[in-house]
Amino acid sequence: MEHLRPLIERAHILLESLPYIRAFYGKTIVVKYGGHAMVDEGLKESFARDVVLMKYIGMHPVVVHGGGPQIGDIMEKMGKTPRFVDGLRVTDDETMDIVEMVLGGKVNKEIVALINKHGGQAVGLTGKDGGLITAKKMMVSRGSPTGEAPEIIDLGHVGEIAHVNPQVIGTLKGGDFIPVIAPVGVDEDGVAYNMNADYVAGKVAAALGAERVVFMTDVEGIRDEKGVLVSSLFRGEVEALIERGIIQGGMIPKARASVEALEEGVGKAHIVDGRVPHAILLELFTDRGIGTEIV
């Protein structure tokens, strides 16, 4: 029997995941794919296999991806210096062309090809396809230290979500396809906008009535003031943690997108370390998980 022990342990792992597979069967899981998991070759393969596995066991994964570093690399190769205001990329007409080329073209199609390589049927989309994402121009205001009227900053083609039309995604899900969405939207006049992928993932999850939304990042999750990983957090606690500076930087849009998704009916939100192979499976299909869940 001793020689069978490794196989028996594998069986126990499968059995541990059974209640979660049963709970998520037929449910939509939106995954925001970004960070180191998008550039490390081994992690890219791991992610693609995880998504395909989710589909084959009866779930409906929907991928929303970022691509900021890739956009920056192409801009620099073209001799254009990226500019940011409060962490938002200033996006003039030429930069928007680059954004669409990189996100809707290069990055999106690479993800689609990788999922298909591992046996899935992925289809790449931007917000332009089927009227998926209607955007509106984002305006940023900056307060004046002298008490004067705040300065209004025009970031160009930087948008926020006005509406998500889930019909095209529903059609793809019905045909057993895996939607892969680039965060580019279009306004009512046909003008394209670059959007934060975290907020897009949250809004897409809400529009689809998703059971879960998972944000992949390059840290373990949300930590408390002592630096200890918080495994579970109530949505009402998030804003206070932001105000106290405990949640900061790139974690803020993920946390706020999680809260908005929960308020609009999504079951739970998860923030996981995409540097860990099979991070999505470890978070969703094990008793303890590996990141932070927001409920």
pLDDT for 144 beyond 60: no
Q: Is residue 264 part of a domain?
A: yes
Residues in a beta bridge with 214: 31, 270
Q: Is residue 6 part of a domain?
A: no
- Calpha distance 75→79 (Å, rounded): 6
pLDDT in tens, 94-140: 999 999 999 999 999 999 999 999 999 999 999 999 999 999 999 87
Q: Is residue 79 part of a domain?
A: yes
For the chain, the residue count is 295
99 near 218, Cβ under 8 Å? no
Q: Is residue 11 part of a domain?
A: no
- Residues above pLDDT 90, as percent of the chain: 77
Q: Any alpha helices (H) in the chain, and if so which ranges?
A: 5-24, 41-56, 68-77, 93-99, 108-117, 167-174, 197-208, 238-243, 251-263, 279-284
Q: Is residue 18 part of a domain?
A: no
Percentages helix, strand, coil for the chain (3-state, rounded to 5) are 45, 25, 30
Question: Cβ neighbours of residue 258 under 8 Å, at least 6 residues apart?
Answer: 202, 213, 215, 235, 238, 269, 271, 294
Q: Is residue 195 part of a domain?
A: yes
- Calpha distance 72→196 (Å, rounded): 15
197 near 158, Cβ under 8 Å? no
Pairing of strands 178-182, 122-126: parallel
Dihedral class, residue 58 (left if φ above 0, else alpha if ψ from -120 to 50, else beta): left
pLDDT in tens, 170-208: 999 889 999 999 999 999 999 999 999 999 999 999 999
Q: Domain containing 53: what range? A: 26-294
pLDDT at 17: 86
For residue 84, give the CATH number of its domain: 3.40.1160.10
Query: Which tokens belong to 254?
Result: 């993920």
Three-state DSSP class for residue 62: strand
Q: Is residue 186 part of a domain?
A: yes
pLDDT for 273 beyond 90: yes
Q: Is residue 154 part of a domain?
A: yes
Count of domains forming the chain: 1
Per the prediction, the chain carries an average pLDDT of 92
Using alpha carbons, select from 207, 256, 279 the residue that is nearest to residue 43: 279
pLDDT in tens, 39-90: 999 999 999 999 999 999 999 999 999 998 899 999 999 999 888 876 788 8
- Calpha distance 97→215 (Å, rounded): 26
